[in-house]
A and B are shown apart, each in its own frame.
Chain A
Amino acid sequence: MKIKKIKPSIPLILFFILIAIFIFFSIIADNFLTFRNISSLLKNMTVMGIMAVGLTPLMIAGRIDLSFGANLSLTTVFMALLYGGSLGIGFKEVEEAVSSEYFDTAGGSTSLWLVVIIGILIATAIGAFNGLVIEKIRVNPLIFTLAMLSVLQSVAFVYSNKMSIFVGTDEVYNIGELEFFNIPVSIFILFILLLIYWFFLKFTKFGRTIYAVGSGAEVSQLFGINVKGTRIILYTLVGFFTGIAAIIVFFNTGIGSSYHGELLLFPTLSGIVLGGLGFQGGKGSIISSILGVLILAFLVNGLKTLGIQSDQIQIIQGAVFIGAVSFYAIRERK
């Protein structure tokens, strides 16, 4: 399955933009081109990158999920509570448990493996739930996932009392700081996931099915493709990838918080739309999405090193988002 051929191709343009931004900030900003800055940048973007990779096939298939940020938050909260041993007790007790740091530094009360597995299960289950409701009951995907965002966020608030749950034991940080050849493990995870999904999208029947569903759902149905089933699987996978991202966040920060996801939602979406992922389906690629996320990450980081404040950066981010969707919308019309 070839990417839509247009001279020049979108990934190429994006790549050049990325290089241009990189060079620009290297020259302009002093602290930009340091090993420390770049590696911190890359480390931060892996989480967004992983979620972007997970979302891309879903959007190619013509659907959207706005609740993944809240999903991530909720998952980290549950992981923190589970690890810290305070899951399953009443709301008032959570308040007390959360406000006192009674975990010793060696380890939590639940095995870390179990915590990880349950985290992935929760996130995946939420994704599956989204998929089932949207495809079986046929609610409007955009508004429903928006509503789920609110619901999941609320649940996270309930269980964390709107506070951050700190469970940063040595055990946790040791894993969070794992590196191979000086490169954080999370980047390898991103790379592997990226590769796998890219391969599946381009070379397998599953990938082609996704493109078919996205650009011609009725016709696909006529030819025996299980349109709804495909989308449900993709929603579940979004949940799965969000779970992986949640785990990485958990190990990196040692914190379960209902605010993790909120901060990641918009930048991830911005990266994806920069990569040209339309909301109408049938087009897009993993490469473009990752490039989009990278461009945004470099842009934000570069601006930060120039001393521009986060609020102003948010305006720029919003403008980039609007600019990107407008650009692709206009292109679509021609």
Chain B
Amino acid sequence: MENFKNKFKSALNNIFLGKSEAPLLLLVYIIILVIFFSLNNDYLRLNNIKNILGNLSIPAILSVGLTPVILSGNIDISIGSTYALSGIVVGLLYRVADIPVPVAILAGLLIGLIVGAINGLLVIKIGVNSIIATLGMMSMIRGVIYVIGRRVMKIYYQPFLNLARIYIFEHIQIILIYFLVFFFIMYFILKLTKFGKHLYAIGADEKIASFFGINIRRNKFITFLISGGAAAIGGVLSVSVIGDVTVSFGSGTLLFEVITACILGGISVAGGRGSLIGVFVAIFILGSIRSGLVLADVPINLRELIFGMILILALVMDSFRVRKRGLSEEL
């Protein structure tokens, strides 16, 4: 009996404070589904599920792209504006400069990489704190968007619209597929390649990582390219989904949704720990909560407040996890 109690206690401990966030998150997820279903029976209808999946796909791509950055001990808060800038660039090039869509798309993606490179430069070469650097970039990019994007740009080119709008097997939106593909690639990279393992090492302890010959600078730089690129992909796909792009494209809550998914999913702000699986579950949880709140007629302002508090909760939980491992006795 004693033995059983101990095992039970340690299992609870593991779930709440330790090894993997996924079990706890799954539990929470099920509870959430039950709650929202009871509030509005439409919740679990096929239509709504398709809705949820479609809405979460693009922010999910950004979350997956942000994960390597956080794992290696940094953060990139410019992704929201990079996302917007890429979309604007595609719109501009196509509508205003009459450049063929494929080229415009490439340009949009390139923008993401360029922003990522600049971020990387600032953080790694010059040594600016990553939040500060990306905060500055975010502000500057927002300014650029306002300067160059002061018009509505509608895109009627069907192949481009098809990029993100077609359905596979009638029910599955293609952006979901894009997300899944990206997710699996990133999962593979993080779990199975040297690069991925190095990122975890860097995030956990830079000094030791460098002792082992890991090229910290290069690896960190690459993570910024990834987050910038993912943001750009998201931006381009979004334009395809929406069909037009304006200055207000991608403002506000996107950034926080993306960050919340990462941290709720167990990617520690301190770096070096967390798994994409957790992020995966967190993405679905957040998407489901969002849908549930909408269907329960919760006003938008309150919805945003709830999401803000979820982020705070995730941060606090992350704190406790880090402390439990005895990592931070720091001041």
Contacts and interface: CB of A to CB of B under 8 A. Distances in A.
B42 interface: no
B137 interface: yes
Interface string A140-167: 1011101110110111011001100000
A151 B137 contact: no
Interface stretch (B82-90, B231-239, B306-314): B306-314
B216 interface: no
A154 B302 CA distance: 7
B177 interface: no
A184 B279 CA distance: 52
A332 B320 CA distance: 33
B31 interface: no
A329 B127 contact: yes
Nearest to B314: A147
Question: Which of B142, B319, B330: most chain A Cβ within 10 A?
Answer: B319
A266 B135 CA distance: 9
A105 to B, nearest CB: 30
B315 A147 contact: yes
Given A329-B128, A333-B127, A139 B316 contact: yes
A120 interface: no
Contacts of A68: none
Interface size class of A (residues with CB under 8 A): 35 or more
Interface stretch (B22-30, B143-151, B203-211, B220-228): B143-151
Contact of B126 (A227, A316, A326): A326
A314 B316 contact: no
Interface in A292-334: 309, 311-319, 321-322, 325-326, 329-330, 332-333
B133 A322 contact: yes
A138 interface: yes
B328 A138 contact: yes
B305 interface: yes
Contact of B331 (A139, A158, A221, A266): A221
B111 interface: no
Contacts of A312: 143, 147
Given A143-B75, A147-B311, A162-B301, A325 B136 contact: yes
B326 interface: no
B146 A325 contact: no
B126 A330 contact: yes
A279 interface: yes
Given A138-B323, A228-B331, A143 B133 contact: no
A318 B319 contact: no
Contacts of A332: 127
Given A144-B312, A158-B305, A311 B126 contact: no
A218 interface: yes
A227 B308 CA distance: 29
Contacts of B259: 143
B215 interface: no
A102 interface: no
B318 interface: yes
B139 interface: yes
A322 B136 contact: yes
B122 A326 contact: yes
Given A137-B319, A138-B319, A227-B331, A329 B143 contact: no
A318 B140 contact: yes
B182 interface: no
B331 A314 contact: no
Interface in A64-106: 91
Given A154-B304, A158-B302, A221-B331, A314 B146 contact: yes
B16 to A, nearest CB: 16
Contact of B139 (A153, A266, A280): A266
A279 B132 contact: yes
Contacts of B311: 147, 150-151
Interface in B139-190: 139-144, 146-147, 150
8 contacts: A143-B75, A221-B331, A227-B331, A314-B146, A315-B143, A329-B128, A330-B127, A333-B127
Given A158-B302, A315-B147, A322-B133, 13 more contacts: A147-B311, A150-B307, A150-B308, A151-B309, A154-B305, A158-B299, A217-B331, A269-B135, A312-B143, A322-B122, A325-B122, A329-B126, A333-B127
Return the 5 tightest CB-CB contacts between A and B, nearest first: A318-B140, A314-B143, A315-B143, A151-B308, A311-B146
Interface of A: 91, 133, 137-140, 142-144, 146-148, 150-151, 153-155, 157-158, 161-162, 217-218, 221, 227-228, 266, 269, 273, 279-280, 309, 311-319, 321-322, 325-326, 329-330, 332-333
Interface of B: 75, 77, 122, 126-129, 131-133, 135-137, 139-144, 146-147, 150, 253, 256, 259, 263, 269-270, 299, 301-302, 304-305, 307-309, 311-312, 315-316, 318-320, 322-323, 328, 330-331
